[in-house]
Each structure stands twice: as structure tokens, then as C-alpha cells.
Structure 1
Amino acid sequence: MRLFIAIELPDGLKRAFAGLRTPIPGARWVPPEQIHLTLAFLGEVEETAVGHLHDELSRIRIPSFKLRPAGTGCFPGRQRARVLWVGLEPEPHLRDLAAAVQSVLLACGIPQEERPFSPHITLARLKLPAPREVGLFLSGEPKHAFPLVPVREFILFQSRLSSAGAQHVPLHSFPLT
């Protein structure tokens, strides 16, 4: 099973993010219903391991918190951008949650990403560099003010791939305290 752990975002915010779309050659914009904040991408995990993973994730005790989306950016940089994103104002509880999730993955023997957690909400993936268009996307950022997002749970998702694209299926939700 192809799995990831994420925070679901309110529909109104997803629609607002979809409104940031600009014409960029080769951009694959994330469908609004699939926009989320990834805490960890697990990749392929044996179905038999999901029960243990669920048990360990349900032990996480982090208080609920609020996020404020702020600013747009790209990875790895404007000249060779491959991902366009919305950032988040720093939130200690989000960092704590991401660290707790990583500890669970380690305890469950699930390989972790080498890169440190960099909280962002992916809006698009680019096949080809488009520095001028990416620059226009980034320059529009100051006009966008987003509301606080209450975070009361995180979710273990299965990503089912098909010719029509990925379908994100929630498997288990884990309430915050």
C-alpha cells in the first residue's frame, strides 16, 4: 500500500489555493480536493504493517493548534523550480507533530526521508523549468492573505494510483489532544 500521513485542510482554503493558479507551461496543478499538508510520505508499506503503524500513531499526544498559511515559494529554486507551494508561519506544535510521526516511522522500521521536515502545501509540480512564469507566480504572493487553520487531527492516507491520477483514501484519523 502506498501511504502518507497528512493534515487535511478546509475546503474553502483548498479553493483559495486553487485560485492561485497561473499559466505555467508543463505545470501539473494539484486538484483542490487533494491539497493537504504532508507530514510524512511512507511510500509502499506492507498491508500487514498498517495495524502496528496505527497503534503507534494513536499514541502520539500533541495538543491541537492553528496554522497560518503565509507566502508562496518553490523548490529547489526559481531557475529550476519543480514544486510550487504555499508556506506556513512557524508553529511549534506542527514541528512536534512531525517529529513524533518520524519517531513512529523509525520505531515501525519504515524508512524516512533524508531531508528535514519543511512544512509547505504543494500546489503544483513542474516538468520543465519556467523561471519567468514562476517569477510571476511568486510575485503575486503578497496579495494573498489566508485565514488561520485549526488542526485537530492528522490522517493516515492511502494513495491509489490509476490512469486518472492519484486518489487519496483516508484510512485512519488520529485526534490531537
Structure 2
Amino acid sequence: MAIKHHYFFAVKLPNEVKSFLNEWVQKNKKTFPFKRWVHEQDYHITLAFLGNVEKELLSQTVKSAKVLLKGQRFSLTLNKIGTFGAVKSPRIFWADVEHSAELNNIQSFVYNHCLDLGFELDKKPFRPHITLARKWDSEQPFHQDSLTFITTEDGEKLTFTVNEIILYESHIEETPKYKEFASFPLH
């Protein structure tokens, strides 16, 4: 039986941002005992999760996105860490970015384009984040007061340029899990 892959549109993070986040994770892993840490190359900001997609629709999605997805490059700034799930035993540990009208606009565009193509998408409001780990793994409860800003050693926030949007294909049996299926450069 063939393995079915899932697909999602996401902001591709520059390698220096992935390295920065990975260094932060390595320094702080003991403070935050989560069960599964995300591989550095899998860091991204999801714009629209498509799930399993038939080949014909996938091809149509890539073709139409190449024509329509021609946005401008924009900057994002890493902000703070946070969690999703139960307060004392969170299921997702993440880093977010400061509010960005450009990011919200491109997410809305991608999301609506996917709806127009017939995809059934998650209806939760867009909450841009970079998943760092999953499943709290401690007898002690998670302390929300441990959530801080994510900064350089000098206390500065890291700002970076978003140069492309990627349609990723997931390979859950591999590490890293996400492979670039199609790239959409921003100009």
C-alpha cells in the first residue's frame, strides 16, 4: 500500500533563522521537557494545510499558485514562545512572530485560493507560529510564567526577510519530515 503524503503551504524560514531557533532550543531543552522536538530543517509557518491531495488537483494547485502567488518580500520578527493545548500539559510548544499585515495578507490570499480550488481547510483563525516541540513530558505542570520573548544573546529580537512560500510534502516516516514540493519566490 502506497504511503499517502499530506501537503501544506508555508513560509520558508531562512537557514540562519532555523539555526538561531535550533541554538535556542538546544540551550533551553532542559527547561522545557517536551517529548518530541521538531527537526531544525522542519521549522516553518503554516499558511494552509491541505491534507492528502489527488495528483490532478495537486498539479492544478501548483500551476494556479505559480500564476497568482507573486507577492512582495516582507520582513518578520521573532517574538515570544508559547503553547497550545492544556495550560499545565501543553501539546504544542512554539515561537511566534510579531504582527505582520503582509503575512496576514499572504495567508488570507493562499487560504482563499485553496478554498476556491475546493479544499476543505481548518476554520480556526490564523495564528502564525513555528512549532518547536510536541507533548509535554513531565510529572510537573507546565508554568506559563516561563514563556518569554525569544531574543539574541544581546537581548535583541531577530528580524528576517521572507523570500518564498513553499508547498511542502510531508514524509512522516523520515527526518526531516517536510520536503519542498513546489516553490513560489516573492519579489
Q: Alignment partner for residue 173 of structure 1, among 158, 172, 183?
A: 183
Is the counterpart of residue 157 in structure 1 residue 161 in structure 2? no
After superposition, residues 10-89 of structure 1 pair within 5 angstroms as 10-21=14-25, 22-23=29-30, 24-58=32-66, 59-76=68-85, 78-89=87-98
**Which portions of structure 1, spanning 4 or more consecutive aligned residues, are displaced by more than 3 angstroms?**
127-137, 141-146
Question: How far did residue 135 of structure 1 move?
Answer: 4.2
Q: 1:131 to 1:38 in 2, by over 3 A?
A: farther
Aligned to 1:72, the other structure's residue is in SS state: strand
Q: Which runs of 5+ in 1 are unaligned?
A: none
Q: Which runs of 5+ in 2 are unaligned?
A: none
State the alpha-carbon separation in 1 of the partners of residues 10 and 70 from structure 2.
16
Contact map agreement 2:169 2:178 (CA 8 A) in 1: yes
Q: How high is the TM-score relative to the length of structure 2?
A: 0.82
State the alpha-carbon separation in 1 of the partners of residues 64 and 157 from structure 2.
33
The number of residue pairs the alignment matches comes to 175
Question: More displaced, 93-102 or 51-60?
Answer: 51-60
Question: More displaced, 117-126 or 79-88?
Answer: 79-88
Q: How high is the TM-score relative to the length of structure 1?
A: 0.87
State the alpha-carbon separation in 2 of the partners of residues 64 and 89 from structure 1.
16
State the alpha-carbon separation in 1 of the partners of residues 22 and 6 from structure 2.
25
CA RMSD of aligned residues (A): 2.3
Question: How far did residue 167 of structure 1 move?
Answer: 2.5
Is the counterpart of residue 122 in structure 1 residue 112 in structure 2? no
Q: 1:131 to 1:47 in 2, by over 3 A?
A: farther
Question: More displaced, 130-139 or 119-128?
Answer: 130-139
